[in-house]
Chains A and B, each alone.
Chain A
Amino acid sequence: MAEQNGFEPLIIGFTCNWCSYRAADLAGTSRQKYPPNVRLVRLMCSGRLDPTFVLKAFEGGADAVMVTGCHPGECHYLEQNMKTLRRFSLMRRTLAQFGIEPERLKLVWASAAEGVRLAREIGNFVEEVRALGPLDWPSVIRTNGDGAHKAPPIIDVAPAEAGEEVPA
Chain B
Amino acid sequence: MSENGKEQGAPVTAGNGKHKLAMYWAASCGGCEISVLNIGKHILDVDSAFDIVFLPCVADFKYDDVRGYDDGYIDVCLFNGAIRNSENEEMAHLLRQKSKVLVAFGSCAYEGCIPALSNLTSREATLRAVYLDNPSTENPEGVLPQESTAMPEGELHIPAFYETVRSLDQVVDVDYTIPGCPPEPHQIWAVLEVVVDALSNGTELPPAGSILGAGTVALCEECTRTKDVKKIERFYRPHELAPDPDICLMEQGLLCMGPATRAGCGALCPSVGMGCRGCYGPLDGVEDQGMRMLAAIASVLDVGDAHTEEHELERQINEVMATIPDPAGTFYRFSMAHSILRRAKVEG
Contact surface of A with B, Cβ cutoff 8 Å: 50-52, 54-56, 58-59, 71-73, 75, 79, 81-87, 89-91, 93-94, 97-100, 109, 135, 137, 140-141, 144-146, 148-152, 154-155, 157-160, 162, 164, 166-168
Q: With A and B bound together, what is the CA distance between A137 and B132 in angstroms?
A: 30
B303 touches A168 (CB 8 A): no
CB-CB nearest in chain A for B292:
A52
**Which chain B residue lies CB-closest to A143?**
B163
Contacts of B127 on A, CB cut-off 8 Å?
154-155
B295 contact from A87, A98, A141, Cβ within 8 A: A87
User: B residues within 8 A CB of A59?
Assistant: 340-341
Which residues of B in the span 180-222 have a Cβ within 8 Å of any Cβ on A?
none
Stretch of B33-41, B61-69, B136-144, B263-271 lying at the A interface? B136-144
Complex contacts, B142 vs chain A, CB 8 Å: 157-160
With the chains together, A83 CA to B304 CA distance in Å? 10
Known: A93-B327, A149-B89. Is A85-B342 also a contact (CB below 8 A)? no
A52-B287, A151-B163 are contacts. A157–B144 as well, Cβ < 8 Å?
yes
Q: Are A137 and B341 in contact (CB under 8 A)?
A: yes
In the complex, how many angstroms separate the beta carbon of B146 from the nearest chain A beta carbon?
A: 6
Whether A91 and B306, one on each chain, are in contact in the complex, defined by CB atoms closer than 8 angstroms, is: no
Can you pick out 9 interface pairs between chain A and chain B where the beta carbons lie within 8 Å of each other? A59-B341, A86-B297, A87-B298, A89-B314, A144-B343, A145-B166, A146-B170, A152-B123, A166-B137
Query: Which residue numbers of B lie inside 8 Å of A, CB to CB?
Result: 86, 89, 120, 123-124, 127-128, 132, 135-142, 144-147, 160-164, 166, 170, 287-288, 290-292, 294-295, 297-299, 301, 303-304, 306-308, 310, 313-314, 317-318, 321-322, 324, 326-329, 331, 339-347
| B291 near A55: Cβ-Cβ < 8 Å | yes
- Complex interface: chain A residues within 8 A of B162 (CB): 149, 151
Is A50 a contact partner of B132 (Cβ separation < 8 A)?
A: no
Q: Are A151 and B160 in contact (CB under 8 A)?
A: yes
Q: How close is B147's CB to chain A, nearest CB, in angstroms?
A: 7
* Residues of B close to A55: CB separation below 8 A: 288, 291, 339-341
Q: Which residues of A contact B340 (CB under 8 A)?
A: 52, 55-56, 58-59
In the assembled complex, the Cα of A71 lies from the Cα of B311 at a distance in Å of 12
A90 and B321 within 8 A (CB): yes
Q: What is the number of contacts between chain A and chain B, taking CB atoms within 8 Å?
A: 157
Which among B86, B144, B317, B321 is the interface contact of A154 at CB below 8 angstroms? Answer: B144
Q: Is the CB of B303 within 8 A of A86?
A: yes
Once the chains bind, are B313 and A72 in contact (CB under 8 Å)?
yes
Taken together as a complex, chains A and B put the C-alpha atoms of A89 and B301 apart, in Å, by 12
Contact yes or no, A151 B321, CB < 8 A: no
Please tell me which one of the listed residues A72, A90, A157 contacts residue B294 in the complex, with CB atoms under 8 A apart: A90
Whether the Cβ atoms of A98 and B345 lie closer than 8 Å is yes
Given A50-B295, A83-B298, A93-B327, 12 other A-B residues pairs in contact with their CB atoms under 8 A: A59-B340, A71-B310, A72-B304, A94-B294, A97-B120, A99-B344, A99-B347, A137-B345, A140-B343, A144-B163, A162-B140, A164-B140
Tell me the complex Cα distance, A99–B343, Å. 9
Residues of B within 8 A of A87 (CB): 294-295, 298
* Nearest-Cβ distance from residue A16 to partner chain B, whole angstroms: 15
Q: A140, A149, A160: which contacts B86 (Cβ < 8 A)?
A: A149
Interface pair A73/B306, CB less than 8 Å apart: yes
Among B128, B138, B288, the most chain A Cβ lie within 10 Å of the Cβ of: B288
Q: Which residues of B contact A73 (CB under 8 A)?
A: 306-307
- Within 8 Å CB of B347, what residues of A? 99
Q: Given the complex of chains A and B, what is the CA–CA distance between A100 and B317 in angstroms?
A: 21
- Chain A residue at minimal CB-CB distance from B327: A94
What separation, in Å, do the CA atoms of A50 and B325 have in the docked complex? 22
Q: Which residue in chain B gives the minimum CB-CB distance to A86? A: B298
Contact partners of A155 in chain B: CB under 8 A: 124, 127-128, 144
Which 8 A/B pairs are nearest by Cβ-Cβ distance?
A99-B345, A151-B160, A97-B328, A86-B298, A51-B291, A73-B306, A55-B340, A99-B344
Interface centre among B139, B287, B288, B340 (most CB of A within 10 A): B340
Which of B137, B170, B288, B308 is close to A52, meaning CB atoms less than 8 Å apart? B288
Contact partner, B342, options A89, A97, A145, A162, Cβ 8 Å: A145
Which of these, A83, A94, A151, contacts B328 with CB under 8 Å? A94
Measured between alpha carbons, how far is A81 from B124 in the docked complex, in Å? 41
Chain B residues near A168 (CB-CB < 8 A): 135-136, 138
- Taking the closest CB of chain B, its distance from the CB of A56, in whole angstroms, is 6
Given A90-B324, A97-B329, A97-B344, A109 and B290 contact (CB-CB distance below 8 Å):
no
Q: CA–CA, A97 to B333, complex, Å?
A: 13
